[in-house]
A and B are shown apart, each in its own frame.
Chain A
Amino acid sequence: MIPEIGLAALWLAAALAALQLLAGFIGARHDNAEIASLARPAALLQAILCGVAFLCLLYVFAVTDLSVKLVATNSHSMKPMIFKLSGAWGNHEGSMLLWITVMAIAGGAIALIERRLPEKTMMATLSAQSFVGLGFYAFLLIASNPFERLTEIPPEGNGLNPLLQDVGLAFHPPTLYIGYVGLSIAFSFALGALLTRNVTPDFARVMRPWVLAAWIFLTIGITAGSYWAYYELGWGGWWFWDPVENASLMPWLAATALLHSASVLAARDALRTWTIMLGVIAFSMSMVGTFLVRSGILTSVHAFAVDPQRGSFILALLVLYIGGALVLFALRASTIAEGERFSVMSREGALVVNNVGLSAILGVVLIGTLYPLFTEAFDVRVSVGPPYFNPVSAIFFLPMMLVLMVGPLLRWKSDNAGRIMKPLALIGAVMLTVLIRSLFYEDIGLLPFLGLVLAAGVAVASVAPLFGRSLRRTPLAIWGMCVAHLGIAVAMFGMAADTAFQKERLVAANVGDIVEVGPWTGQLDTVNAVAGPNWTAMQANLTMSYEGGPGQEAHPQSRNFWTPVMETSEVALLTRWNGQLYVAVGNQGQDGRWQLRLWWKPFVTFIWYGGLLIALGGALALVGRVASDLRRRRHADEEDMEDELAEATA
């Protein structure tokens, strides 16, 4: 009964999306307030219905209802409860239901909250949101029904991919999806503004917090995904330029560019069409990512099941939405005035460099990801990996960092460099110091070397806008910018330090053998078997000490899951403020020795601290913007009341 309720709720939600599309369109087109008044409730009800459907799915997974095909193929009654629930989105159908639920809730949220825009633009926006939504409802209901029943109920389910049975992974997809799909709002706003020719600073101010919210989740999702890959895959890498990673990085790059260009539009009424373009591109990248990941073009843990019908379905949606939006853009862009001009030496000028840089990196990642797929169609197999992505994206990233140091110090419209000489001299001095110090390290590689120097410069520059300000009176949004930019410096330092100074040790060790890596020494004490709820493992027990300090225990495991059968590596991490010791155990050789892999990774944790700081900066800015907006609204209300009072007394 519960699965049928879920399915019915989905069909109803799809019908409401159709209603919203029409009501919004007619409302925007013909100024018909009566019909237009249907759009907001439809969006809201849709969000509730999708929420109900999602809860139904959670329920069937929680009770392991094996009559539901999705549960039978992806779950198992022996799994811990948290992995039963997270299994609900650890498969194609469930994750698409999560997608549509997030999209409906995002649409419902703007319908409920957002009242600052002209009603026409709002109606066009809601209409666009439901237009995109409808395609995904169709995809879900026609090609990926999550509630499909089985006629013959199997005695037990197939289980979930053991790599996904991890607490981090339980929360990674929802977080990423809120960001990914939340960008649909930017897409719809952009279309709404294009349709009603209303690209104004006010529009940018309205769109910005929504984009910011999605971007925060996207940032956390990518950071968490990177850390998960780091400790779960067992080889100490934290970014692989894998197509699936790139699929999440591309919307992030576009959204980051969008946030910066929206601030130019909001403050200075410039970069109008460019901002709209980025709004379209950001969510387009989300959809491209979904296509890459879900179509079966790539084999990966995210691909779940290869099904060509689904691939063509998503491709059709992709062409319809991205193509449609770009055509609309091409038709309308020329009718939107260019906006204010500015000189190169200005805040806008710096932000333009930021936008060109981010777009260029986005282009590099997109081309590098799609190109091998493209050539494969002609039977030419090309490998594009870190040796391509790292240097080519660095060509754009490093100059961007230089501009990042200067931009926040510049005034809008026009400025001269002489005014900011003092902070620039300080930043330069810090970079020079680090540069000279870094010259003493041998063979650290060019990119890590530049990374260290630039990280120091960006770190100082990120707080430079606070110099000479009253810290208590500084708006939260400025704090947010400083914290986020500091996060970039921290993450960059972590990446550079780990790449430059990492120590690796691969050994075959007997019990009792001494192992050394970097400043750590220790020994393999014992190896024993341990068992979990759905796995058994060989566990190595090591005592490791840092520079002769007290011994710390490390217990890496090599796990064997039995539903489905699979080997995974459960690494042991010893975290210090200045880095992590990373220990993994492999198989036992025929001579009885165990394969041990140890890495000393200096400051590697800074990569994820940096990611979290970036997200925190976004959160501060969001709180600041929303608070000041509420304040403004309250003032406006008070003024209205005063006006009314004045009228009444008159």
Chain B
Amino acid sequence: MKRLFALFALLAVSLPTALTAQSSMPPAPYAYTQLEDPAQEQIARDLMETLRCLQCQSQSIADSDAPVAGDMRHQVRTRIAAGESPEEIRAYLISRYGDYISYEPEISATTWPLFVLPGILVLLALIVLLRRVGRVRE
């Protein structure tokens, strides 16, 4: 819930001039408006929810007030409208900003423990607890 906070914390400490500079810059057209076609908008929306806002603590670009998130929403929407597939756009953004930009969990050399560790924990818990389960002596 505190994803915006990082941004706000940043804004709070940055100079007031930064604020005015930011609000005097017009946001890109599709930062705050949807695509005409609801189906395309849905695809864009689904993609945006899995992309990380670079300026915030832990927010997707789909719900961030940060200017950079607005720019990225514009990018995503115009590219979707131009017919690019979500995975092409994700690949482009990853090539530009790094893996960090994507929330989509992919099992890779750096993320495999995320998927293996919970499984190990469950096995351990099961072993501990199942030792308590046995036939009840009548």
Q: A interface vs B, CB < 8 Å?
A: 161, 163, 225-226, 228-230, 233-245, 270-271, 274, 298-303, 338-339, 341-344, 348-349, 352, 355-356, 359-360, 363-364, 367-368, 371, 375, 380-388, 392, 396, 413-414, 443, 504-508, 564-569, 586-587, 589-590, 595, 597
Contacts and interface: CB of A to CB of B under 8 A. Distances in A.
Contacts of A568: 8
A380 B33 contact: no
25 contacts: A161-B8, A233-B63, A235-B4, A237-B1, A239-B1, A243-B58, A300-B5, A301-B5, A341-B136, A342-B136, A343-B134, A348-B133, A349-B133, A352-B132, A367-B113, A383-B102, A386-B49, A387-B50, A387-B105, A392-B105, A413-B136, A565-B11, A565-B12, A566-B12, A586-B32
B135 A343 contact: yes
B128 interface: yes
Given A240-B59, A299-B9, A566-B11, A392 B118 contact: yes
A426 to B, nearest CB: 28
Of listed A344, A363, A382, A385, residue having the most chain B CB within 10 A: A385
Contacts of A504: 34, 45
Nearest to A241: B58
Interface in B96-120: 98-105, 110-111, 113-115, 117-118
A398 B135 CA distance: 27
Nearest to A586: B32
B2 A245 contact: yes
A271 B126 CA distance: 13
Contact of A161 (B12, B101, B133): B12
A344 B6 contact: no
Nearest to A344: B133
A364 B118 contact: yes
Contact of B121 (A237, A244, A360): A360
Nearest to A264: B132
A567 B133 contact: no
A510 to B, nearest CB: 13
Contact of B58 (A240, A506, A565, A595): A240
Interface residues on B, range: 35 or more
A567 B11 contact: yes
A341 B133 contact: yes
Contacts, number: 193
B114 A384 contact: yes
A387 B104 contact: yes
Interface in B11-64: 11-12, 16, 19, 23, 26-27, 32-34, 42, 45, 49-50, 52, 57-60, 62-64
B129 interface: yes
Nearest to A445: B46
A569 B63 CA distance: 13
Contacts of A385: 50, 52, 58, 60, 103
A360 B118 contact: yes
Most A-side CB within 10 Å, residue of B5, B9, B63, B135? B5
A228 to B, nearest CB: 7
Contact of A274 (B23, B101, B129): B129
Which 4 pairs from chain A and chain B are nearest by CB?
A: A229-B1, A235-B63, A301-B5, A385-B103
A226 B2 CA distance: 10
Contact of A587 (B6, B23, B130): B23
Interface string B74-114: 00000000000000000000000011111111000011011
Given A342-B136, A413-B136, A240 B1 contact: yes
A373 to B, nearest CB: 12
Nearest to B45: A504
Contacts of A161: 8-9, 12
A388 B32 contact: no
Given A567-B19, A589-B27, 14 more contacts: A226-B1, A233-B3, A235-B4, A235-B64, A242-B2, A242-B58, A244-B2, A343-B136, A352-B133, A367-B117, A371-B114, A388-B103, A507-B34, A567-B23
Given A387-B50, A388-B103, A233 B34 contact: no
A562 to B, nearest CB: 9
Contacts of A566: 8, 11-12
A245 B74 CA distance: 29
B9 to A, nearest CB: 6
Nearest to B14: A565
- The winner among A225, A238, A371, A388 for most chain B CB atoms within 10 A is A388
Contacts of A506: 32-34
A339 B125 CA distance: 17
Contacts of B136: 341-343, 413-414
A299 B133 contact: no
Contacts of B34: 504-507
Contact of B1 (A233, A367, A380): A233
Contacts of B126: 356
A302 B2 contact: yes
Contact of B110 (A339, A348, A380, A507): A380
Contacts of A235: 4, 62-64
